[in-house]
């Protein structure tokens, strides 16, 4: 009887959700609740003001990011983003200059036009839209643009190379509002080089209050 009920339960999950957990294979959502509990939120920060929400070294996190970026399938990454929504809200609240509904501008890290055309979407913009759904007084704004092609940061081995590669590669399309909080959003941060360049571009244009959040971090201890 128990086996029959178990079979019916799994069949119902498969019918309702049409998928299975990326980690354990249980029919249902892309990440089941049991496996989701096994993915800890991280309090890792590096280079001041840069937050990585999950550890990219966790197999489910790296799979979720890879699946979003290269397979155009974001179910796993969306579930992780939603799990982290309260944690992200707490981080942002600590950086607000006012508690009276200061507007929060979520800024996706931009891609160069050729790469954006080839991929068809910006993963950072997708993640920003998921965060925005659960964050009051916020909106997504593509204020930054990438002005030249660069070598993928993942192809470079150390921080100096990454800083040199991305240096001067971004600019603001229009002046930001100095009274608003600008939250830069990316999929993965490792050395912080991309966030530092994006921060430079925003500050140069006039932004004052800037925070950086990545869905995952791949920090390498030096």
What's 205's domain CATH number? 3.40.50
Same domain, residue pair 210 and 126: yes
Indicate the burial class of 175 (C-beta count within 10 angstroms; 0-12, 13-18, 19 or more): exposed
**Model confidence at 16: pLDDT above 50:** no
d(CA 52, CA 24): 25
Please tell me the total count of domains within the chain.
Answer: 2
Same domain, residue pair 73 and 150: yes
Mean of all residue pLDDT scores within the chain: 87
Same domain, residue pair 21 and 51: no
Same domain, residue pair 113 and 183: yes
Same domain, residue pair 24 and 47: no
pLDDT for the residue numbered 209: 92
pLDDT for the residue numbered 101: 66
Q: What is the mean pLDDT of residues 71-88?
A: 93
Residue 32: strand, helix, or coil:
coil
Same domain, residue pair 148 and 45: yes
Same domain, residue pair 201 and 160: yes
Query: Could you tell me which residues come within 8 angstroms of residue 144 by beta carbon, excluding any fewer than 6 positions away?
Result: 107, 108, 109, 110, 170, 171, 172, 173, 198, 201, 202
Same domain, residue pair 15 and 102: no
Residues 33-58: tens digit of each pLDDT: 999 999 998 866 655 679 999 999 99
Tell me phi and psi for residue 21, to 5 degrees. -65, 135
Q: In 3D, which of 150, 140, 147 has the Cα closest to residue 193?
A: 150
Q: Is residue 222 part of a domain?
A: no
Same domain, residue pair 113 and 33: no
Residues 142-154: tens digit of each pLDDT: 999 999 999 888 8
Q: What is the DSSP string of 166-210?
A: HTT-EEESSPPPTTSEEEEEEEEESSSHHHHHHHHHHHHHT--EE
Instruction: Give the range of the structural domain holding residue 19, as residue numbers without chain letter.
Output: 1-38
Residues 169-212: tens digit of each pLDDT: 999 999 999 889 999 999 999 889 999 999 999 999 999 999 99
| Six token digits for residue 52 | 């990585």
pLDDT for the residue numbered 11: 46
CA distances (Å), origin 26, targets 11, 16, 99, 177, 221: 10, 13, 43, 47, 35
Q: Is residue 96 part of a domain?
A: yes
Q: Is residue 52 part of a domain?
A: yes
Same domain, residue pair 53 and 145: yes
């Amino acid at each position: 009887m128990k086996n029959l009920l178990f079979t019916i339960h799994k069949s119902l999950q498969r019918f309702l959700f049409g998928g299975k957990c990326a980690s354990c294979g249980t029919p249902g959502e892309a990440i089941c609740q049991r496996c989701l509990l096994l993915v800890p939120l991280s309090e890792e920060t590096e280079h001041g003001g840069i937050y990585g929400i999950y550890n990219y070294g966790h197999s489910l996190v790296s799979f979720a990011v890879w699946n979003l970026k290269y397979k155009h399938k974001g179910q796993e990454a969306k579930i992780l983003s939603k799990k982290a929504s309260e944690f992200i809200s707490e981080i942002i609240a600590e950086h607000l200059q006012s508690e009276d509904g200061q507007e929060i501008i979520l800024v996706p890290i931009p891609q160069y036009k050729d790469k954006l055309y080839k991929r068809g979407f910006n993963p950072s913009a997708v993640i920003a839209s998921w965060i925005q759904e659960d964050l009051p007084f916020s909106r997504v704004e593509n204020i930054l643009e990438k002005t030249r092609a660069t070598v993928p940061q993942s192809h470079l081995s150390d921080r100096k190379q990454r800083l040199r590669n991305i240096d001067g590669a971004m600019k603001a399309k229009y002046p930001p509002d100095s009274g608003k909080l600008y939250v830069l959003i990316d999929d993965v941060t490792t050395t912080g080089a991309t966030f530092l360049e994006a921060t430079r571009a925003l500050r140069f244009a006039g932004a004052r209050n800037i925070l950086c959040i990545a869905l995952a971090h791949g920090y390498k201890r030096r």
